Amino acid sequence: MKIIPSCREVSELLSQAQERPLTLVERFGLHVHLPLCEGCRNFKRQLVFMREAFKRYLERP
């Protein structure tokens, strides 16, 4: 088993994290990959931003 996931795997994990709790191994992979990879950090920031924006949209009266 590979310890550090690829960028592709990281983006999939970040998307899945919106729908299900990640396993310990998956969280560890993100924890190792994200500090090394600016692209995935940006992707994660975008996901969080999108989720917040969507939530605000739903909460609008």
Q: Which is nearer to Zn ion, 12 or 54 (CB)?
A: 12
Q: DSSP of the chain, one letter per residue? A: --SSPPHHHHHHHHHHTTTSPPPHHHHHHHHHHGGG-HHHHHHHHHHHHHHHHHHHHHH--
Minimum CB distance to Zn ion, residue 37 (Å): 3
Minimum CB distance to Zn ion, residue 7 (Å): 3
Q: Which is nearer to Zn ion, 2 or 56 (CB)?
A: 2
| Contact positions vs Zn ion (CB under 5 A) | 7, 37, 40
